[in-house]
Amino acid sequence: MILINGKKADQISARDRGLHYGDGLFETIAVIEGEAVFWERHLQRLEKGCQRLSLPFPDPALLQREAQSLIKNEPRAVLKLIISRGEGGRGYAYPEPTRSTRLLMPYLWPDYPIQNWRQGVQVRFCDTRLARQPQLAGLKHLNRLEQVLARNEWRDANIAEGLMCDENGNVIEGTLSNLFMLHNGVLHTPDLSQCGVAGIMRERILELAHRQGIRIEIDNITKAQLLAADEVFLSNSLIGLWPVNSLQGRNFKIGNITRSLQNLINQDYPLIHV
Amino acid sequence: MILINGKKADQISARDRGLHYGDGLFETIAVIEGEAVFWERHLQRLEKGCQRLSLPFPDPALLQREAQSLIKNEPRAVLKLIISRGEGGRGYAYPEPTRSTRLLMPYLWPDYPIQNWRQGVQVRFCDTRLARQPQLAGLKHLNRLEQVLARNEWRDANIAEGLMCDENGNVIEGTLSNLFMLHNGVLHTPDLSQCGVAGIMRERILELAHRQGIRIEIDNITKAQLLAADEVFLSNSLIGLWPVNSLQGRNFKIGNITRSLQNLINQDYPLIHV
């Protein structure tokens, strides 16, 4: 069942600016035992995104009630939340008044193999680049053609994720995940001020690492630096943390810091059941 | 009346990838006396775009029949055609099989003032930049957040259009139009290999100028070069050609070449009724 502006529906207005321009934002939220994990963080990010796009932010209490009605009996699921700028005429100017559309869609929990957490995943570099656009950087907006093109560069089911670079050759993120590497005990993750999505789980991992006293560097990472890393891992709200065991023929060990962060995530977020 | 996959409808599936990712393309077509102007050109561009995005291209005869059924009695209208990658599950991988969605929507003819053609328009520079993304450059795709942000930088109804630069400061296009300038009798229009939309009317103007023996340069244009131009004009499929009379305080005359191109467009495309 999908809820669109609070009503059960399978369809959305053909005049919605989400369709015409990708004029909106989304969140992908893990549901565990009827609870939307990190709900508050997702809503905060969404609200900030709405501010940056001058998009009316719906009443959070209303969103929570609607989410609860969809997920309360779900042991495991995914909740996707879309906020678009609603219906509009032809043309880019904001409609007056703007009534945003809110769409809540539950999905089945993805059946990722348990080995992805335990033995790590194989990843590749994509040729599709992320364009530098500071006005949209960090946002989880509905303009996702770059990810669509990148994800469809490979069909090999053994490859769990593809990494995308910006036009300068800095590795920024995966098609659906953020990227971390450990080098001499320092945790590095790419700067997202020019492109990329600032993930909820990325933020959580940075908090956990900071509490563990791990030194953190948020900066540019070249392909060569990534290939020379001691440990590499990926994160998002559904996978939590996946170690990377192989990238373009280079093998990585799964070290203590990766495992300890994975265990910490697992405490408030029992994704793995290892 | 809207046609979605050949059926009268006001709504589209909430699972459509056009909504979730902007995974699709569109055309905006002028309708004059029941005819879609430059229909063949629009369809050729759409087909090329579909090839670049690996998007199934619908049967052109079917599209034409559907378009005709919508517009045949319209003296003046706009036909918007959207092709998306259709319904999909969560995730960027192409659905297997992919069934594209085709959406045909008529709109009222916009009531642009006749002075826009006769006396020209006032335009401004936008702060929002166009990101450099050669894989999407030229395409009229559904990822249009940059245009949305740029168009909403101004409210002054006297300003007809905003010009957008790439991150290097080259002027690329307007939010809804292509850009031309004349300098010492040479017609310049920005290179669109890194960003921008390759408009049907831009193509037509280049053809007409070539036939007139006007020298054409497709290259980078800086703000300073544009401000030093002899004549400046804008084009798209609905406006045809609008001379620019003023840009950021600089006034431009409307010269012979601009007027002759405008008259040539008007011959197969009677937009102006001057």
Of A249-263, B194-208, B258-272, the poorest mean pLDDT is in B258-272
Shortest Cα–Cα distance, A187 to chain B (Å): 28
Q: Where in B35-191 does DSSP place strands (E)?
A: 35-36, 76-84, 101-108, 121-125, 159-165, 171-174, 178-183, 186-190
- State residue B86's pLDDT score: 97
- State residue B191's pLDDT score: 98
The sign of the CA dihedral B145, B16, A200, A131 is negative
Q: Is A147 on the interface with B (CB under 8 A)?
A: yes
Which residues in chain A are closer than 8 Å to B87, comparing Cβ atoms? none
A233 has a pLDDT exceeding 80: yes
- pLDDT tens for B187-197 read 999 999 999 99
Residue B250 vs residue B271, higher pLDDT: B250
User: Which residue from A minimizes the CA distance to B133?
Assistant: A131
Residue B52's CATH number: 3.30.470.10
Which residues in chain B are closer than 8 Å to A20, comparing Cβ atoms? 26, 82, 142, 144
B273 has a pLDDT exceeding 60: no
Residue whose structure tokens are 């009443």? A59
Cis peptide before A60 (omega within 30 of 0): no
Tokens read off for A257: 């810091």
A86 has a pLDDT exceeding 70: yes
Using the 3D structure, point to which of B69, B87, B108 is the last residue of a domain.
B108
- pLDDT tens for A132-179 read 999 999 999 999 999 999 999 999 999 999 999 999 999 999 999 999
- pLDDT tens for B206-233 read 999 999 999 999 999 999 999 999 999 9
- pLDDT tens for A16-73 read 999 999 999 999 999 999 999 999 999 999 999 999 999 999 999 999 999 999 999 9
Of A90, A99, A140, which is closest to residue A4 (Cα–Cα)? Answer: A99
- Bridge-based pairing of strands A7-8 and B11-13 is unpaired
Band (pLDDT 50/70/90 cuts) for residue B89 is: confident
Q: How many CA atoms lie within 13 A of B208 on its CB side?
A: 21
Q: Is A175 on the interface with B (CB under 8 A)?
A: yes
* Claim to verify: residue B247 and residue B137 sit in the same structural domain: yes
Using the 3D structure, point to which of B67, B89, B108 is the last residue of a domain.
B108
B-contacting residues of A 188-207, CB under 8 Å? 195
B9 has a pLDDT exceeding 70: yes
**A131·B128 Cβ contact <8 A:** no
* Claim to verify: residue A151 and residue A204 sit in the same structural domain: yes
Specify whether the CB–CB gap between B168 and B177 falls below 8 A: no
**Catalytic (active-site) positions of A:** 28, 140, 173
Residue at A263 is within a domain: yes
Consecutive H or E run containing B264? helix B256-268
Tokens read off for B265: 């467009």
Residue at A250 is within a domain: yes
Q: Is B90 on the interface with A (CB under 8 A)?
A: yes
* Claim to verify: residue A100 and residue A43 sit in the same structural domain: yes
Residue A168's CATH number: 3.20.10.10
Tokens read off for B18: 């056009």
**B14·A14 Cβ contact <8 A:** no
Tokens read off for B11: 């709504």
* Claim to verify: residue A76 and residue A202 sit in the same structural domain: no
Using the 3D structure, point to which of B108, B129, B158 is the last residue of a domain.
B108
* Claim to verify: residue B152 and residue B52 sit in the same structural domain: no
* Claim to verify: residue A146 and residue A43 sit in the same structural domain: no
Specify whether the CB–CB gap between A195 and A131 falls below 8 A: yes
* Claim to verify: residue A100 and residue A144 sit in the same structural domain: no
Q: Is B152 on the interface with A (CB under 8 A)?
A: yes
- What rounded mean pLDDT belongs to chain B? 96
- State residue B252's pLDDT score: 98
- What rounded mean pLDDT belongs to chain A? 96
Band (pLDDT 50/70/90 cuts) for residue B272 is: low
Single pTM value for the model: 0.97
Tokens read off for B252: 């431009």
Specify whether the CB–CB gap between A79 and A106 falls below 8 A: yes
- pLDDT tens for A137-148 read 999 999 999 999
Question: What total number of domains does chain A contain?
Answer: 2
Domain that holds residue A256: 115-268
**A145·B167 Cβ contact <8 A:** no
* Claim to verify: residue A104 and residue A125 sit in the same structural domain: no
What's the mean pLDDT in A91-99? 94
**B107·A89 Cβ contact <8 A:** yes
User: Which residue from B minimizes the CA distance to A80?
Assistant: B90
- Bridge-based pairing of strands A178-183 and B250-251 is unpaired
Which residues in chain B are closer than 8 Å to A23, comparing Cβ atoms? 144-145, 148
Tokens read off for A101: 């559309």
User: Which residue from B minimizes the CA distance to A110?
Assistant: B90
Quote the CA–CA distance of A217 and B103 in Å, as a whole number: 47
Which residues in chain A are closer than 8 Å to B102, comparing Cβ atoms? none
User: Amino acid identity, residue A165?
Assistant: C
User: Which residue from A minimizes the CA distance to B79?
Assistant: A90
B274 has a pLDDT exceeding 50: no
**B93·A150 Cβ contact <8 A:** no
**A145·B21 Cβ contact <8 A:** yes
Residue at A195 is within a domain: yes
- State residue A272's pLDDT score: 58
Which residues in chain A are closer than 8 Å to B172, comparing Cβ atoms? none
Q: How many CA atoms lie within 13 A of B3 on its CB side?
A: 18
CA angle A227, A228, A231 (to 5 degrees): 85
User: Amino acid identity, residue B52?
Assistant: R
